[in-house]
Amino acid sequence: MDKHFPLFPLSLVVFPQERLKLHIFEPRYKQLIHECLEEGITFGIPAVIEKKVSDIATEVKLLAVEKRYKGGELDIVTEGIRRVRIVKFLREAHAKPYPGGIVQILENYEDEDPASQQKIMDLMQQLHQALGIQKERDEAEKRIYSYSIAHNVGFNLEQEYELLQLDKESDRLNFILNHLEHILPVVLETERLKAKAKLNGHFKNVLPPDF
């Protein structure tokens, strides 16, 4: 079923269940947030990639206004709800100053893939060790969920958007796994070269060959 949504295009990808803090300063989006407060409406955040509004967006809800400024600016907290496809983008819709669009709700399939989850966990631990990152995971975090780690595996904007387009959790996990398997050897080699470069200029204690 198609429905009309307010839209707030940004140069970033927002994932379902992600909490996002935003500083609102443009008059048109200040109006949007006030309408969210008064009417309880939600809005979509599509990524702007190479100056183009993407077709897939994430519907978000306003959780809180953390700060109000004298000039009317706002610091807000939002949370991603679900993915939507923009069927028609409208720069101004229904006499509103902000963009809107006709959207379709997208299905999401939470199929489990324990093998990929475990591989991703192992690779992330290796990556963190290589980069000197210390992060303890409690029991609740030991189930790898694609959206929860998508901003922390070294994706660029285009890769994050590619992940957002995938309908199945198993496909998203495989996408992350393939990425980690590609970048981990590069990171390990880079760290090895950095360690080697630090030794340049130092006296070296090297045993000569015994012949």
Give pLDDT tens digits for 78-117. 999 999 999 999 987 778 999 999 999 999 998 978 888 9
Give the chain's domain count.
2
Are 122 and 83 found together in one domain? no
Answer yes or no: are the C-beta atoms of 164 and 83 closer than 8 Å. yes
Answer yes or no: are the C-beta atoms of 115 and 169 closer than 8 Å. no
Domain end (from 74, 105, 136): 105
> In this predicted structure, what is the pLDDT of residue 179?
94
Are 34 and 8 found together in one domain? yes
Residue 148 has phi, psi (to 5 degrees) of -70, -20
> In this predicted structure, what is the pLDDT of residue 79?
97
Q: Does 94 fall in a domain?
A: yes
The 10s digit of each residue's pLDDT in 54-70 is 999 999 999 999 999 99
Are 33 and 75 found together in one domain? yes
**Given a cut of 50, is residue 25 above it in pLDDT?**
yes
Are 98 and 154 found together in one domain? no
Record the tokens describing residue 101, joined without a space. Answer: 């669009």
Q: Does 182 fall in a domain?
A: yes
Helix (H), strand (E) at residue 16 = none
Are 90 and 133 found together in one domain? no
> In this predicted structure, what is the pLDDT of residue 92?
77
Domain end (from 105, 131, 149): 105
Are 86 and 67 found together in one domain? yes
Question: Residue type for 123, please?
Answer: L
Are 59 and 21 found together in one domain? yes
Q: Are strands 43-49 and 74-90 parallel, antiparallel or unpaired?
A: unpaired
Rounded Cα gap, residues 179 and 173, in angstroms: 10
Are 136 and 87 found together in one domain? no
Question: Residue type for 132, please?
Answer: G
Helix (H), strand (E) at residue 4 = strand 2-6
Answer yes or no: are the C-beta atoms of 132 and 187 closer than 8 Å. no
Neighbours of 80 (CB within 10 A): 21
Rounded Cα gap, residues 87 and 67, in angstroms: 34
The 10s digit of each residue's pLDDT in 138-192 is 544 557 899 999 998 889 999 999 999 999 999 999 999 999 999 888 877 776 7
Are 85 and 157 found together in one domain? no
